[in-house]
Homo-oligomer: A and B are copies of this chain.
Amino acid sequence: MTDTKTGSVDAAGLLRIQEAAAEAGLTSRSVRYYEEVGLLRPAARSEGDYRLYDATDVERLRFIKGLRDDAGFSLAEIAQLLEDEDARERGHEAYHATTDPAERLRILRDRVSRYEHQIEMLRSKVGRLQAMVDETDARLTRTKGKVRALTEEMAASIEVGTAR
Protein backbone atom coordinates (compact mmCIF):
# COMPACT_ATOMS: atom_id res chain seq x y z
CA MET A 1 0.00 0.00 0.00
CA THR A 2 1.14 3.52 -0.68
CA ASP A 3 1.74 4.30 2.94
CA THR A 4 3.53 7.63 3.17
CA LYS A 5 4.66 9.33 6.34
CA THR A 6 1.14 10.65 6.64
CA GLY A 7 -0.27 7.16 6.98
CA SER A 8 -1.99 5.65 9.99
CA VAL A 9 0.13 5.17 13.05
CA ASP A 10 1.56 1.68 13.25
CA ALA A 11 -1.07 -0.80 12.16
CA ALA A 12 -3.21 -0.10 15.18
CA GLY A 13 -5.66 1.96 13.16
CA LEU A 14 -4.88 5.04 15.19
CA LEU A 15 -5.05 8.42 13.50
CA ARG A 16 -3.24 11.65 14.22
CA ILE A 17 -5.27 14.73 14.83
CA GLN A 18 -5.34 16.05 11.28
CA GLU A 19 -6.37 12.71 9.84
CA ALA A 20 -9.06 12.17 12.43
CA ALA A 21 -10.34 15.70 11.98
CA ALA A 22 -10.47 15.37 8.19
CA GLU A 23 -12.26 12.05 8.58
CA ALA A 24 -15.01 13.87 10.46
CA GLY A 25 -14.92 17.00 8.32
CA LEU A 26 -13.36 19.17 10.99
CA THR A 27 -10.14 21.09 11.53
CA SER A 28 -7.50 20.00 14.00
CA ARG A 29 -8.04 23.25 15.84
CA SER A 30 -11.67 22.43 16.41
CA VAL A 31 -10.83 18.96 17.62
CA ARG A 32 -8.34 20.36 20.13
CA TYR A 33 -10.91 22.90 21.21
CA TYR A 34 -13.52 20.19 21.68
CA GLU A 35 -11.08 18.41 23.92
CA GLU A 36 -10.49 21.64 25.82
CA VAL A 37 -14.18 22.01 26.56
CA GLY A 38 -14.48 18.36 27.52
CA LEU A 39 -16.22 16.82 24.52
CA LEU A 40 -13.69 14.03 24.00
CA ARG A 41 -10.25 12.79 24.81
CA PRO A 42 -8.00 11.04 22.31
CA ALA A 43 -7.81 7.28 22.75
CA ALA A 44 -4.07 7.55 23.29
CA ARG A 45 -0.96 9.68 23.03
CA SER A 46 2.17 8.76 21.12
CA GLU A 47 5.61 8.58 22.67
CA GLY A 48 6.14 12.22 21.74
CA ASP A 49 2.72 13.22 23.11
CA TYR A 50 0.92 13.30 19.80
CA ARG A 51 -2.84 12.83 20.12
CA LEU A 52 -3.98 9.50 18.65
CA TYR A 53 -7.60 8.78 17.76
CA ASP A 54 -9.33 5.46 17.18
CA ALA A 55 -12.46 4.63 15.22
CA THR A 56 -14.88 5.37 18.06
CA ASP A 57 -13.25 8.75 18.52
CA VAL A 58 -13.90 9.56 14.88
CA GLU A 59 -17.47 8.33 15.32
CA ARG A 60 -17.83 10.69 18.24
CA LEU A 61 -16.37 13.57 16.26
CA ARG A 62 -18.84 12.94 13.48
CA PHE A 63 -21.68 12.89 15.99
CA ILE A 64 -20.47 16.14 17.51
CA LYS A 65 -20.31 17.75 14.10
CA GLY A 66 -23.83 16.55 13.42
CA LEU A 67 -25.14 17.95 16.66
CA ARG A 68 -23.39 21.23 15.90
CA ASP A 69 -24.26 21.65 12.22
CA ASP A 70 -27.49 19.76 11.75
CA ALA A 71 -29.07 20.17 15.15
CA GLY A 72 -27.51 23.56 15.85
CA PHE A 73 -26.62 22.72 19.43
CA SER A 74 -24.01 24.75 21.28
CA LEU A 75 -20.91 22.96 22.49
CA ALA A 76 -22.25 23.35 26.02
CA GLU A 77 -25.47 21.58 25.07
CA ILE A 78 -23.49 18.90 23.27
CA ALA A 79 -21.43 18.41 26.40
CA GLN A 80 -24.68 17.86 28.27
CA LEU A 81 -25.86 15.32 25.71
CA LEU A 82 -22.58 13.43 25.77
CA GLU A 83 -22.63 13.76 29.54
CA ASP A 84 -19.35 12.61 30.99
CA GLU A 85 -18.83 9.46 28.95
CA ASP A 86 -15.31 10.81 29.44
CA ALA A 87 -15.52 12.44 32.86
CA ARG A 88 -16.99 9.41 34.54
CA GLU A 89 -14.95 6.90 32.55
CA ARG A 90 -14.02 5.92 29.07
CA GLY A 91 -17.17 3.81 28.65
CA HIS A 92 -15.74 1.09 26.49
CA GLU A 93 -12.56 0.74 28.50
CA ALA A 94 -14.42 0.70 31.78
CA TYR A 95 -16.77 -1.90 30.39
CA HIS A 96 -13.98 -4.24 29.45
CA ALA A 97 -12.01 -3.43 32.56
CA THR A 98 -14.54 -5.17 34.74
CA THR A 99 -15.89 -8.68 34.61
CA ASP A 100 -18.45 -7.99 37.28
CA PRO A 101 -21.78 -8.45 35.50
CA ALA A 102 -23.57 -6.07 37.84
CA GLU A 103 -21.06 -3.35 37.00
CA ARG A 104 -21.35 -4.04 33.30
CA LEU A 105 -25.12 -3.86 33.60
CA ARG A 106 -24.89 -0.51 35.34
CA ILE A 107 -22.70 0.86 32.55
CA LEU A 108 -25.05 -0.44 29.87
CA ARG A 109 -28.17 0.90 31.55
CA ASP A 110 -26.46 4.22 31.92
CA ARG A 111 -25.74 4.21 28.24
CA VAL A 112 -29.35 3.36 27.47
CA SER A 113 -30.64 6.33 29.43
CA ARG A 114 -28.11 8.61 27.73
CA TYR A 115 -29.24 7.44 24.30
CA GLU A 116 -32.87 7.90 25.28
CA HIS A 117 -32.14 11.42 26.40
CA GLN A 118 -30.31 12.18 23.16
CA ILE A 119 -33.19 10.84 21.11
CA GLU A 120 -35.66 12.88 23.10
CA MET A 121 -33.68 16.08 22.49
CA LEU A 122 -33.33 15.36 18.81
CA ARG A 123 -36.96 14.36 18.39
CA SER A 124 -38.16 17.57 19.98
CA LYS A 125 -36.02 19.51 17.56
CA VAL A 126 -37.33 17.52 14.63
CA GLY A 127 -40.83 18.25 15.84
CA ARG A 128 -40.39 21.99 16.04
CA LEU A 129 -38.63 22.01 12.70
CA GLN A 130 -41.39 19.98 11.12
CA ALA A 131 -43.90 22.46 12.50
CA MET A 132 -42.04 25.23 10.72
CA VAL A 133 -42.07 23.23 7.52
CA ASP A 134 -45.81 22.74 7.85
CA GLU A 135 -46.39 26.42 8.52
CA THR A 136 -44.37 27.40 5.51
CA ASP A 137 -46.11 24.77 3.46
CA ALA A 138 -49.46 26.26 4.44
CA ARG A 139 -48.30 29.70 3.37
CA LEU A 140 -47.08 28.22 0.13
CA THR A 141 -50.42 26.60 -0.55
CA ARG A 142 -52.31 29.81 0.19
CA THR A 143 -50.05 31.78 -2.09
CA LYS A 144 -50.39 29.20 -4.85
CA GLY A 145 -54.13 29.55 -4.49
CA LYS A 146 -53.85 33.26 -5.03
CA VAL A 147 -51.70 32.72 -8.10
CA ARG A 148 -54.26 30.36 -9.54
CA ALA A 149 -57.13 32.75 -8.87
CA LEU A 150 -55.21 35.61 -10.42
CA THR A 151 -54.20 33.73 -13.55
CA GLU A 152 -57.78 32.61 -14.09
CA GLU A 153 -59.00 36.13 -13.62
CA MET A 154 -56.45 37.37 -16.11
CA ALA A 155 -57.34 34.66 -18.60
CA ALA A 156 -60.98 35.68 -18.37
CA SER A 157 -60.27 39.34 -19.00
CA ILE A 158 -58.07 38.48 -21.96
CA GLU A 159 -60.85 36.37 -23.40
CA VAL A 160 -63.23 39.28 -23.05
CA GLY A 161 -60.69 41.55 -24.67
CA THR A 162 -60.01 39.06 -27.44
CA ALA A 163 -63.71 38.39 -28.07
CA ARG A 164 -64.55 42.02 -28.61
Contact = CB atoms under 8 A, between A and B. Distances in A.
A130 B119 CA distance: 10
Interface string A63-74: 100110111110
A66 B128 CA distance: 8
A137 interface: yes
Interface of A: 63, 66-67, 69-73, 101-102, 104-105, 108-109, 111-112, 115-116, 118-119, 122-123, 125-126, 128-130, 132-133, 136-137, 139-140, 143-144, 146-147, 150-151, 153-154, 157
Contact of A70 (B112, B129, B140, B151): B129
Query: Which 4 pairs from chain A and chain B are nearest by CB?
Result: A72-B72, A115-B140, A70-B128, A122-B133
Q: How many copies does the complex hold?
A: 2
A139 to B, nearest CB: 6
B143 A115 contact: yes
Given A70-B128, A128-B66, A136 B115 contact: yes
A91 B146 CA distance: 14
